[in-house]
Structure 1
Amino acid sequence: MQRQSEGAPRNRTDIHTLEAVALAATHSAAMASHAWVGRHDKDAADAAATDAIRQVLADAPGRGTVIIGEGEKDEAPMLYNGETLGNGLGPDFDIAVDPLEGTKFCAKNLPGALATIAFAESGSLWSPGPGFYMDKIVVPPQAKDVVDLTDSPERTLHKVAQALGKPVSELRVVIMDKPRHQKLIARVLQAGAAVHTPAEGDVGGSLEVLLPTGNADLLLGIGGTPEGVMTAAAVRGLGGGMLGRLAPQRDAEADAIRAAGMDLDRIYSCDELVSGDAFFVATGISGGSLLSQPRESDGTVLAESLLISSGQVRHISHTTFGSLPRMAGLPS
């Protein structure tokens, strides 16, 4: 149920009046962090993106609450959980945000860095509390009813392959290249599937699974809870399937989750992670198969964004006069 406050009438369509704000926020973050592409300072890039998003959201026509922000688990710059933004003259809404997904990609000038955000009706985004990590499965719509997070990787591969009408040997699986995934990657390879192992960026990996133009069939493994909730907004919009379960990576995190009264064995569906009307936005920073990096052309700056909402995928081109932001003190 959406919170009510004084001002304009609230209804389920209100959230979509904020799409332009979300696009402006990720575009601003992409422009700010682009100056740090290839400079091997991921925290500075993250801080630039965070400041840019916060400035845009401060003037949003409504009252947004950050339900889940990125950065706390890494002690990086962040929009903090519970932070409120906006001018109050519009709908209340929930925010899940990662101003710079793929900080290492940005720092090392590798493809895949994105500015990402999701807006949802007030009260509809799941809060992970002190949980920073979650185990996830993301699949396209054809396989959404067959997956179970308690299945073995081999059984999951078999069921997804059957749902997609292809042999396991033709499946393309995204699993982040982390030490915690070594055994999972080995089992998936042994089962015959191909594995794409990005260093980070499970939102981008999930989009490769969900989008018709994507290059993957399934995402498995443990990633961040902020990325999980934002992914769920995209999954909900595109009719895909997703399951998640808290997966603490340190004893202190597990103890905090239990102290908060949360069940480490509970499996959350996509509709539990995002229970109301929502949309997801991403803007490209360092390029890649999903979105191009911002670039200059004939006195203008071109950038690309993706908006996923209510069964629709929109690719948006931003064209502004001028040049890309540059770091102070560096030659033009």
Structure 2
Amino acid sequence: MTISSGSSPELIYALRRVSESAALAAFDWIGRGDGMDGGRAALDAMLSALAEVDIDAVVVIGEAGKGEAPQPARGERLGRPGSAFKADIAMDPVEGTSYLARGQTNALAVLAVAPRGTMMNPAPAFYMEKFVAPAPARGKIDPHWTTGRKLRVLAEVLNKDVSQLTIYVLEKPRHRELIDDIIRAGARVALYPAGDVAGALLAAIPGSGIDALMGTGGTPEGVMSACAVRGLGGEFLARIDPQLHTEAKAVRESGLSTSRWYARDELIASDDVFFCATGITTGLMVDGVERTRTHYKVQTMMVIGATGERQIITSYLPRERTGQSQSAARDVA
């Protein structure tokens, strides 16, 4: 059955089914040591569900890097071509593939949608440096400042002392100096091995316990996060930051600057954005998939840019209606 949504706020509920389908498909691959099979299953489920949504979407972010879970191809038409709502889409069926493989927290199924032509295409960059903070920081932080100065100004606009700030950083060797700088400035560091979509959203949500995200992570995750952060009214600054020689060469040849910082509204040039993130494994933001003999429990964060709303919805889906009820050998009580 076709889900007719147009570009109205009701579209978010149709898109929620898409990210839920990916999370359900990935569930059986949690903790099985290889996220590739789970990624393929999640991608197939996401594409199949999206085909039922009344949206004509073009993939802006695609072409997974080596060792990453499968992604749709850049430029691919998804949904129902010819639908009235022409859109750009970025999606990650399994954000946090390593988390999925090891059965760790924070694995998500994520997608973001914006009107056609409003989502930046940063190809062929796989990595970008990011600064994300809540709405009071909008326009107050110069990305060229030192880490210490950024944190002092951030603390001021949030009406906090620097010692009360908690900064989300991916636990990667490239961030050793950044981590030292944050600690030297007097703030706390919250280190996670992956999951900068969750980190960016938490940074944009007042009272989440995370005051900012800093450091370099994936470009696809950055573009998807920028959609959500724009919808939430937060600050998002980004700079292309290649991590491999081949990537750096491709970025130079494409004409992209590695010194320029892009503002949030350059990355996503419309407020009419939609974002969904469904938990695969339980994390900081949403709960992961849970299964009983009769139902799946899934939880999704949704952001609607046109209204500025965010919702976390918990759904209980009958197993016989999900097409995922045949794994009897893996049932739980």
C-alpha distance in 1 between matches for 2:68 and 2:294: 38
Q: Distance in 1 between matches of 2:194 and 2:227?
A: 19
Q: In the alignment, is residue 315 of structure 1 matched against residue 316 of structure 2?
A: no
Native 8 Å contact 2:69 2:97 kept in 1: no
- The correspondence for 1:193, drawn from 180, 187, 192, is 187
Equivalent position of 1:44 in the other structure: 37
Distance 1:158 1:70, change over 3 A: farther
| 2:17 match | 24
Q: Relative to 1, partners in 2 of residues 1:331 and 1:263: Cα closer, same or farther, differing over 3 Å? A: closer
Q: Which amino acid aligns with 1:47?
A: R
CA–CA distance in structure 2, aligned partners of residues 330 and 299 of structure 1: 14
- Could you give the per-residue CA deviations for residues 200-239 of structure 1, whole angstroms, max 9, x where no partner exists? 1101111111223522001000011111111111111111
Q: 2:113 aligns with which of 107, 110, 119?
A: 119
Q: Quick one: which amino acid aligns to residue 289 of structure 1?
A: L
1:173 aligns to what SS in structure 2? strand
What SS does the aligned partner of 1:268 have? coil
Distance (Å, rounded) in 1 between the aligned partners of 2:99 and 2:326: 18
Equivalence map 1:3-82=2 (5 Å): 14=7, 16-69=9-62, 71-72=64-65, 74-82=67-75
Structure 1 unmatched runs, 5+: 1-9
2:38 counterpart SS class = helix
Displacement of 1:91 in angstroms is: 1.3
Question: Would you say the 8 A contact 1:70–1:226 is kept in 2?
Answer: no
1:304 aligns to 2:320 (yes or no): no
Aligned pair 1:278/2:281, yes or no?
Answer: no
Aligned to 1:163: 157
- CA shift, 1:147, in A, is 1.3
Q: Structure 1 residues 262, 124: closer, same or farther in 2, change over 3 A?
A: same
Superposed CA offset, 1:304-325 (max 9, x none): 1111112111111222112784
Correspondent of 2:166 among 159, 166, 172:
172
TM-superposed CA distance for 1:75, in Å, is 4.9
Range with bigger deviation, 31-40 or 72-81: 72-81
Matched, 1:209 2:206: no
Contact 1:137 1:149 in 2 (8 A): yes
Cα separation, partners in 2 of 1:182 and 1:326, compared to 1, 3 Å? farther
TM-superposed deviation, 1:71: 2.3
Q: Structure 1 residues 103 and 75 mapped into 2: Cα distance closer, same or farther (>3 Å)?
A: closer
Kept in 1, the 8 Å contact 2:61–2:89? The answer is yes
Match of 2:289 in 1: 294
Q: Which residue of 2 aligns with 1:218?
A: 212
TM-score normalised to the size of structure 2? 0.91
Secondary structure (helix, strand or coil) at the match of 1:204 reads helix
- Secondary structure of residue in 1 paired with 2:61: strand
Provide the secondary structure at the position in 2 that maps to 1:69: coil
Aligned to 2:76: 83
The answer to whether the 8 Å contact 1:116/1:282 transfers is yes
Measure the CA separation in 2 of the matches of 1:249 and 1:115: 25
- State whether residues 36 and 68 of structure 2, in contact with CA within 8 Å, keep that contact through their aligned partners in structure 1: no
CA contact (8 A) 1:207 1:214 kept: no
Residues 208, 215 of structure 1: 8 Å contact kept: yes
- The Cα offsets for residues 239-262 of structure 1, whole Å up to 9 and x where unpaired, read as 100100100112221221121122
State the alpha-carbon separation in 2 of the partners of residues 306 and 61 from structure 1.
21
State how many pairs are aligned: 321
Any gaps of 5 or more consecutive residues in structure 2? none
The 8 Å contact of residues 126 and 273 in structure 1, kept in 2 or not, is answered as yes
What TM-score, normalized to structure 1? 0.91
CA contact (8 A) 1:15 1:120 kept: no
CA drift of 1:264 comes to: 1.9
Q: In structure 1, how many angstroms separate the alpha carbons of the residues matched to 2:204 and 2:54?
A: 30
2:230 matched residue in structure 1: 236
Measure how far apart 1:87 and its partner are: 2.0
Residue in structure 1 matching 2:240, options 241, 246, 264: 246
133, 144, 163: which is aligned to 1:150? 144
Deviation at residue 135 of structure 1 after TM alignment:
0.6
Please give the secondary structure, in 1, of the residue aligned with 2:106. coil
Q: Once the 2 structures are TM-superposed, how far is the Cα of residue 128 of structure 1 from its aligned partner?
A: 0.4
Equivalent residue, structure 2, for 1:182: 176
CA contact (8 A) 2:68 2:97 kept: no
Q: How far apart, CA to CA, are the structure 2 residues paired with 1:58 and 1:322?
A: 21
CA distance in 1, matches of 2:66, 2:258: 18
CA shift at 1:143, angstroms? 1.3
Matches of 1:66 and 1:130, distance apart in 2 = 14
